[in-house]
A and B are shown apart, each in its own frame.
Chain A
Amino acid sequence: MEFFLISLLNGVSYGLLLFMLSAGLTLIFSMMGVLNFAHASFYMLGAYWGYTLSALWGFVPALILAPLGVGLLGAGFEKWFLRRVHAHGHVPELLITFGLAYVVLEVVQLLWGRSAVPFAPPAWLQGPAFTLIGGGPFTDLHWVWGAASEAACQGTALCSPFPATRAFMMGVALVMVISLWALITHTRVGLVIQAALTHPQAVQTLGHNVPRVFMLVFGVGTGLAALAGVIGGSTFVTEPSMAATVGSVTFVVIVVGGLGSLAGAFGASLLIGTVQTMAVAIDLSLSDLWLALGLPGQASAATSPWMKLTLSQAAPILPYLFLVLMLMVRPRGLMGTREG
């Protein structure tokens, strides 16, 4: 039980980090019809700027300034580059973001080097946020804030501390979800954004500055990616291949969730985060399933290397399997509105 809970928490915190990343990506896509290939690069930039700024002024200023800086950069990119090629259609737009991803990667390697930088979370985020205690003198599962005392963890009791960095990651992501939702549904700007999603010409005719709205959305989207970068970079590792690894998973998230749907992206990131984490814990293989179902040909099933592959070994490819299945069964994704 305690194992299940801690795995679930690990999965949800990873899922929420994925959401911070994919929220911006899916917003940008629904607005401009552009799949921003450089999105994960803004995540990486956020992590590196966060590292540099936190060395100068501390973690909290870095957490605010790095996303702002990256957001401005993103807005500038939209205004001076993306808008120019917009007239030529979607393919050039796609290509320019693709090129940007390479430029950012090379610049990061030039400025910060090819190996990982030591971006550690601040002292107040080191150590556990709370500890789950199961078994032992207290038969029921319960929890305490911070680290559990030595005495509480003795004997048969199993203590599982939950790192503060992950709790913080969850907290920031939840605050972000709520404020993003409030912004889009309850403010004037949000209404204009929603209208511009589907009827940009009409909104333009009504006197709103649609290009500026686009720029704003691009800036906010990349800023959110950078926020995820500062948190993700300090919790995990900050190094030049971080964009490539996380980038492919965010594409899976927005396709599974439904291109352009924020709620879908939220659901899909939680789903992928938990499935990927939980799968690591499950040692079942196809041959076990074969045996359990009592299917014929058990001897060959037990020896084939394919059949012996366990779910935990397959965990890293599960998101991509999801992607393929989703595109086959329901191409518009979990909550997407447009077909195909």
Chain B
Amino acid sequence: MTFSQRLIAALGALFVCGSALAQKGETVKIAWIDPLSGLMAPVGSNQLKSFQFFAEKFSQNNPAGVKFEVIGLDNKLSPAESLNALKAAMDQGVRYVTQGNGSSVAGALIDAINKHNERNPGKEVVYLNHSAVDPDFTNSKCSYWHFRFDADTSMKMEAMSSFMKDLPEIKKIYLLNQNYSHGQQVAKFAKETIGRKRPDIQFVGEDLHPLAQVRDFAPYIAKIKASGADSVITGNWGSDLALLIKAANEGGFNGKFFTYYTGVTGTPTALGKGGEGRVYQIAYNHYNMGGQMGQWMNEFQTKYKDDFYTGSAIHIFAYLGEAMAKAKSTDPVKVAAAMHGLKLKSFNGEVEMRKLDHQLQQTLYMSVWQKADKKYPYNPENTGMTLVPVKTFEPYISSTPTSCQMKTP
């Protein structure tokens, strides 16, 4: 570099620092820590693509004028590997972390980030939880540094049970879930809320199976059929839901499925034409949101030949952009303070990051698996089928109280 080049660079730097929007043009690095290997790898790689896609979209246009960069780190769905990944990310100077697959991992990350932030003032890290839905994270284990953009298990169950209570044909329910915090919470809240709203419904069986280990669900299906259940409630996701549904189709189980994650990679293919009209999903989005979201989904589909479903990625970038503009900084401490209680217009109406517990309050949709048509055209994994919304739940319906005693630094 010649002397004159150096001078220009120095002057340029001076100019950038002196402008009113101090954060403008800065690059915000977000470490994405989720599985890219193992049975859940298809889900992880879809979500990494989603984050990269929206990092690009929001870099072009966000109120803070910052650039987003996503760094993908494989955690093999293991809490121990995730802590290594977190360490590696922090060593690179990353101050924002996102994760969502597996509340087992999320719990470990929350603990680690709490400790790190306490011991390293000035180097705080903010944790943006995109899909880990264990209610404990916004109740007994709530943390100021944790922000949840998905709706937690208790909220989804509140909405799901409001829908189920109006279906008189449901008499016997079987609970089949993964044996870790999330699955156990789904079973617990299902019994609690449905017991409250429809005490006549019987729970004829309950099972917990290992997370991302089972390859053959035929024995479980045989058991569900023998129990006489007409509906199954499951919080399973990824291969655990796809293989369950595959076994149900092969084993001739004709009951309803009430799920959290029908739209996630692999499950649409496993469902295929079977399951029409009897597989339901409760979520904060569905395939046929239309508008800007619809355009993005089509663009994502053309670019990656894959389906976009992790809508919380959009919430995360929208919140970061808005909060950084408000804080006039990319410093996680200031951004966290700005996100605390922030309200936004999003694809599912107005959303609010509740001050009490950092749980996003948002609209939820109950949707059902059926043939794609003119009105609901989006066709995931080329199945010719889609998820059609059957009921919309305003934020106040699914909002659940919190026991969080948040310590604000």
Contact = CB atoms under 8 A, between A and B. Distances in A.
Nearest to B381: A118
Contacts of B243: 236-237
B251 A281 contact: no
A281 B219 contact: yes
B14 interface: no
A158 B225 contact: yes
28 contacts: A3-B225, A7-B222, A10-B216, A10-B222, A11-B219, A114-B38, A115-B45, A116-B41, A116-B42, A116-B266, A128-B250, A128-B252, A153-B252, A158-B225, A159-B252, A163-B218, A237-B215, A237-B243, A239-B39, A240-B37, A240-B38, A241-B38, A280-B207, A281-B222, A281-B226, A283-B205, A312-B207, A313-B207
Interface residues of A, number: 35
Given A116-B239, A160-B252, A313-B208, A10 B38 contact: no
B218 A10 contact: yes
Interface in A276-312: 277-278, 280-281, 283, 312
Contacts of B269: 118
A114 B252 contact: no
A316 B208 contact: no
A313 B179 contact: yes
Contacts of B36: 114
A48 to B, nearest CB: 15
A160 to B, nearest CB: 6
A280 B222 CA distance: 10
Query: Would you list the 6 A-B pairs with minimal beta carbon distance, nearest first?
Result: A115-B41, A3-B226, A280-B219, A114-B37, A236-B215, A163-B250
B153 to A, nearest CB: 20
Contact of B252 (A10, A161, A241): A161
B306 to A, nearest CB: 12
B220 interface: yes
Contacts, number: 85
A3 B251 CA distance: 11
B25 interface: no
Given A109-B37, A114-B37, A239-B39, A161 B251 contact: yes
B222 A115 contact: no
A245 interface: yes
Given A160-B252, A161-B251, A313-B208, A10 B219 contact: yes
Interface in B227-262: 239, 243, 250-252
A14 B37 contact: no
A116 B39 contact: yes
A236 B246 CA distance: 10
A158 B222 CA distance: 11
